[in-house]
Structure 1
Amino acid sequence: MTDRLKPGDPAPEFTLPTDDGGTLSLTDLRGRKVILYAYPAAMTPGCTKQACDFRDSLASLQSAGYEVVGLSPDKPAKLAKFRDRDAITFPLVADEDKAVLTAYGAYGEKQMYGRTVTGVIRSTFVVDEEGRIEHAFYNVKATGHVAKLRRDLGLD
């Protein structure tokens, strides 16, 4: 099991390929608050619901000073299909070797249908302007998570 991040920890740095063929580094977003959410697989029902919830809340999150980035082990080409199919309007980054997911404690053993499996642990991290973890939420639900996050951040 990988270590879980706590508020005040430095957010692990990364530079990853994106859905649009570029790359995105956490340092590119320094000076802004970042909501980095880790999800298991693009184009699956739960992950689609969660991405669409973030998409639908993006304007209000951005007006409150937050940038949203989705993180999964999918290939950039699959992320591009996901973006196009569901009109995702924020960056999706590909962590194919799962090194970043592991660094964030979002890859490891989890319970699925009563069995212990190894995979992506659906998680959300709020990174402050200096690159430190402000909040780390693990084992979040795909449905209703964005609304709960908004409440936790004092936006609703």
Structure 2
Amino acid sequence: MDHVFSRVLLMREYLRRAALVVGDVQPPGWPFADLAAVVAVTVRADESVTEDVVRTVRRAGQFSPIPQTCAAAVHWSRLAADRGLPWPDPFEPLLLMYERGGGFTFSDAGMIEVDLVGVPHRPPAGYLSAAPIASLDIAFLAETDAAFEQKLANTTATALHLSG
């Protein structure tokens, strides 16, 4: 469970940024919708590129909706290159999360699970008031993981001491 805490923070940041893009509207596929299509349905990346991305991600053993989110990130990149956008790139934290150790799943309880940590699956408005992540810098993310692991070790040691 490497990088669990930073990956949860990155998922939360993706959800916050995606909510900024869509506002109160809940597009089909929320929260892993094609956000570029929500903003400008006619601005699309080259289809052969997005198909190659999906194929490559699937070959790496990832399942839906992860390949589709990678293709959506390519569409977003094309949109951002063509237009000045008022939002931070919503896919940057999601792609960083993938790079730090894999994807996510959905639980029967309605959670988005990053490893075994559940992130509530809410409508976009439920993420609009969330505080942004302090930094997407790799050193900052590593520090947050180390602090979380230390806190977890201390809690475990205290629990073992109390039960012994």
Q: Please, what TM-score do these two structures have when normalized by structure 1?
A: 0.29
Structure 1 or 2: more strand by fraction: 1
In terms of fraction of residues, the more helix-rich structure is: 2
The structure number with the bigger radius of gyration is 2
